Structure 1
Amino acid sequence: MTALGAVLIASVYIMLFSLVKEPNRQIINALIIAGAGATYWSSGLGYFEFPLGVIMIFLAFKGLKNYKFLAAGWLVHTVYDILHHLYANPIVPMAPSSSLGCAICDPILAIWLFMGAPNVFDWFRGKGAIRNA
């Protein structure tokens, strides 16, 4: 159930952001990556929480010009998701498997971003060109 929910969340995220025109799609995704760096602060890994924030801000800044940095941000976040699932507090306190779900969702978003965050509705319309990221 956790995996199914994670795939559904990633799919909805990708579809919603496919509706956002460039360059706003890239800018908003960069802001989300920057914010994702703070999601685990005070969640059980002590001082090891803080490097995530610094790394994610750097990747978000670089991601304003290149989607690959945003994709890398979701992969870095996945590492923290796994650490929290195994050793610390979940991302959503009342949902024990939420960090595991996030660890499934994030790489799906990373794949989409590595592809240049294409509009998925164009694929359905037969215009499936993938931009260079």
Structure 2
Amino acid sequence: MNIALILTTAIGPISIGLLCISIMSLVKEPNRQIINALAIAGAGAVYWSGGLGFYEFPLGIIMVYLAFKGLRNYKYLAAGWIVHTVYDILHHLYGQPIIPMVPTSSLGCAICDPVLAIWLYFGAPSIFEVLKRRRAA
């Protein structure tokens, strides 16, 4: 795989992650945390019938648990995206892509998810507030 292909494969998913963070930064707390918990719960079901058979179902159970715990602690939501990343990689290698007509969509998701996980790990701060504080300092 050449460097241009690697860059184009990574730039899109990273940009999507940053766009999601920007949009979610517009949502006030506690709704930001609630919406992110719902996203984690939903992410647990996107691969059902994705080619890994029975092994699809534990993801749903794990993600609902992490979403519930994430209603109180953002670190559980971060963990949810890391767990989802593992499933993304498994689907890229052995299963079906998350978007059937885009063969590298699971790989893209595996690149995007850790971007979201890092943001959530640090408490999902509004990126606009962070930038405003940096400018004021």
Above 0.5 in TM-score? yes
Shift of 1:8: 0.6
CA distance in 2, matches of 1:98, 1:3: 11
CA distance in 1, matches of 2:33, 2:134: 20
TM-score normalised by structure 1 residue count: 0.94
Shift of 1:25: 0.1
Residues 86-131 of structure 1, C-alpha deviations (whole Å, 9 max, x = no match): 0010000000000000000000100000000000001221269xxx
In the alignment of these two chains, the number of paired residues is 128
Say whether residues 1:59 and 2:87 are aligned partners.
no
Whose Rg is larger?
Answer: 2
1:90 corresponding residue in structure 2: 97
CA distance in 1, matches of 2:111, 2:11: 9
TM-score normalised by structure 2 residue count: 0.91
Which residue of the other structure, out of 105, 113, 116, is the alignment partner of 1:106?
113
1:17 corresponding residue in structure 2: 24
| Aligned partner of residue 118 in structure 1, secondary structure | coil
Q: Residue type of the partner of 2:111? A: I
1:70 corresponding residue in structure 2: 77
Q: Residue type of the partner of 2:122? A: M
CA distance in 2, matches of 1:82, 1:124: 33
Structure 2 unpaired stretches of 5+:
1-7
